[in-house]
């Protein structure tokens, strides 16, 4: 196993059965040779519309859920073990390989139907925000192919073979302020394919592996770079963080969601200087490890293209057209004991918002399924 750092309802239907009964035709008998007594025509009824609601007809409103419906039926709830996290007071520490133990606990409850497991916790995890733990390195052309003895395997996490990756999102409290904002799930999911590719002559990634650095353009807004690099002209460049996150043309290619011919606008900047701000927020200085921060700087533009990426990393296999475009995600909450509604509400909000966010992030070319398989 390896890691990449980052950040039924059963509806009851109410039916009202209105039965209208019509009288059968009856024959009127009259005595022979006797004139019938004229019957005065009744006065017509006044045309009065009664807007008073009929109390026997239910109003037009959604049927409430059944009292026993489970609003969290599509979340796998798992109890913490020391093999996953050790606990100290209200905080946990991730063990290694803790995600193996999480996966094994999940697969005791569900089948091997998921490409990704998205895991949250009901406690803060020390020194962790979000990270991707990859279990399938068999995809070619990404720059990180790893096969043979010692290579991570879905079997490590209890999957019979389908699992690609675990997105470890950690504490629900991180997402509670905006529970339906799922850009970080988009980010961690994209780590399945990026950013590991390099090209001859210069570094594109952050040194840790997994993020494009601030002086690399992958053709547009980047999910794992957190934004976009723009050439301002006269040797100045600006990187801008941009939310909601979306996959760039190069990332779509690496994910098998776009052909190589769709990738353009790739460049990196060499001989960098004149950074504004002069010092990044998260590092002592601007370097290869710098990513995901707004910055402007000077330098020399060096263009490269998709052929350079393929020459350095090999072709993407399976290629576009053969690669999957629909992925199933299992959402998981790990709890100290019993999971609370407050934590489950956050995970449910993330789960229900993610399909639309993923579709938007991929330009509508990929589908995320987040319901548990019965």
Q: Report phi then psi at 149, rounded to 5.
A: -60, 135
Which of 185, 136, 156, 206 is CA-nearest to residue 332? 185
Handedness of CA 123, 124, 129, 133 (dihedral sign): negative
DSSP code at position 283: S
Q: Is the pLDDT of residue 372 over 80?
A: yes
Q: What number is the average pLDDT over the span 122-134?
A: 96
Q: What number is the average pLDDT over the span 202-230?
A: 93
The predicted structure's pLDDT at residue 147: 78
Q: Is the pLDDT of residue 23 over 90?
A: no
Q: Give yes or no for a contact between 158 and 205, defined as CB atoms under 8 angstroms apart.
A: no
Which of 183, 337, 192, 182 is CA-nearest to residue 252? 192
Query: pLDDT, tens digit, for every residue of 337-359?
Result: 999 999 999 999 999 999 999 99
CA angle 225, 226, 228 (to 5 degrees): 80
Task: Please tell me which residue, 101 or 289, carries the higher pLDDT value.
Answer: 101
Q: Is the pLDDT of residue 31 over 50?
A: no
Query: pLDDT, tens digit, for every residue of 138-159?
Result: 999 999 988 788 889 999 999 9
Q: Is the pLDDT of residue 215 over 60?
A: yes
Instruction: Indicate the helix (H) or strand (E) that contains 98.
Output: helix 98-106
Q: Give yes or no for a contact between 289 and 206, defined as CB atoms under 8 angstroms apart.
A: yes
Q: How far apart are the first and last CA of the chain?
A: 28
Query: pLDDT, tens digit, for every residue of 43-97?
Result: 555 444 455 545 444 445 445 445 568 999 999 999 999 999 999 999 999 999 9
Q: Which residues of 59-80 are buried (b: 16+ CB within 10 A; e: fewer)?
A: eeeeeeeeeeeeebebbbbbeb
Tokens, residue 222:
């980047």
Q: Is the pLDDT of residue 12 over 80?
A: no
Q: Is the pLDDT of residue 308 over 80?
A: yes
Domain boundaries, the chain: 71-193+324-374, 195-254+266-304
Q: What number is the average pLDDT over the span 216-240?
A: 98
DSSP code at position 157: G
CA angle 67, 72, 78 (to 5 degrees): 130
Q: Is the peptide bond before 64 cis (omega within 30 degrees of 0)?
A: no
The predicted structure's pLDDT at residue 54: 52
Q: Is the pLDDT of residue 301 over 60?
A: yes
CA distance 254 to 307: 13
Query: pLDDT, tens digit, for every residue of 242-258?
Result: 999 999 999 999 999 99
Residue whose structure tokens are 């139907």: 113
Output the average pLDDT for the chain.
86
pTM for the model stands at 0.82
**Residues 6 or more apart whose Cβ sits within 8 Å of residue 165:** 115, 116, 117, 132, 133, 134, 135, 136, 189, 191, 192
Q: Is the pLDDT of residue 234 over 50?
A: yes
Which residues, listed in sequence order, are joined to residue 335 by a DSSP beta bridge?
79
Q: What number is the average pLDDT over the span 287-308?
A: 96
Q: Is the pLDDT of residue 6 over 60?
A: no
């Amino acid at each position: 196993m390896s890691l990449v750092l980052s950040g039924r309802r059963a509806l009851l239907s109410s039916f009202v059965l209105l039965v209208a009964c019509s009288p059968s035709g009856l024959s009127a008998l009259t005595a022979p040779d006797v004139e019938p007594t004229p019957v005065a025509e009744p006065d017509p009824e006044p045309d009065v519309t009664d807007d008073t609601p009929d109390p026997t007809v239910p109003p037009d409103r959604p049927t409430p859920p059944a009292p026993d419906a489970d609003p969290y039926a599509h979340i796998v709830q798992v109890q913490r073990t020391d093999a996953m996290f050790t606990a100290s007071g209200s905080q946990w520490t991730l063990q290694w390989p803790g995600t193996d133990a999480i996966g094994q606990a999940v697969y005791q409850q569900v089948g091997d139907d998921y490409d990704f497991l998205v895991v949250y916790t009901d406690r803060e995890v020390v020194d962790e925000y979000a990270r991707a733990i990859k279990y399938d390195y068999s995809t070619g052309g990404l720059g990180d192919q790893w096969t043979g003895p010692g290579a991570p395997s879905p079997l490590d996490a209890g999957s019979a073979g389908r699992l690609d990756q675990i997105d470890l999102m950690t504490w629900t409290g991180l997402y509670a302020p905006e529970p339906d904002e799922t850009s970080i799930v988009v980010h961690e999911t994209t780590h399945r394919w990026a950013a590991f590719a390099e090209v001859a002559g210069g570094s594109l990634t952050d040194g840790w592996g997994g993020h494009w650095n601030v002086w690399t353009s992958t053709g547009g807004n980047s999910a794992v770079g957190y934004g976009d690099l723009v050439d301002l002209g006269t040797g100045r460049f600006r990187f801008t963080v941009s939310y909601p996150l979306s996959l760039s043309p190069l990332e779509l290619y690496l994910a098998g969601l776009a052909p190589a011919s769709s990738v353009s606008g790739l460049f990196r900047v060499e001989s960098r200087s004149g950074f504004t701000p002069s010092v990044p927020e998260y590092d002592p200085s601007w370097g290869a490890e710098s990513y995901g921060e707004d910055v402007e700087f000077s330098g020399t533009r060096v263009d490269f293209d998709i052929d350079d990426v393929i020459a350095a990393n090999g072709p993407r296999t399976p290629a576009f057209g053969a690669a999957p475009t629909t992925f199933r995600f299992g959402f998981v909450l790990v709890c100290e004991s019993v999971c609370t509604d407050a934590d489950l509400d956050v995970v449910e909000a993330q789960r229900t918002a993610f399909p639309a966010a993923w579709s938007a992030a991929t330009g509508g070319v990929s589908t995320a399924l987040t319901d548990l398989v019965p």
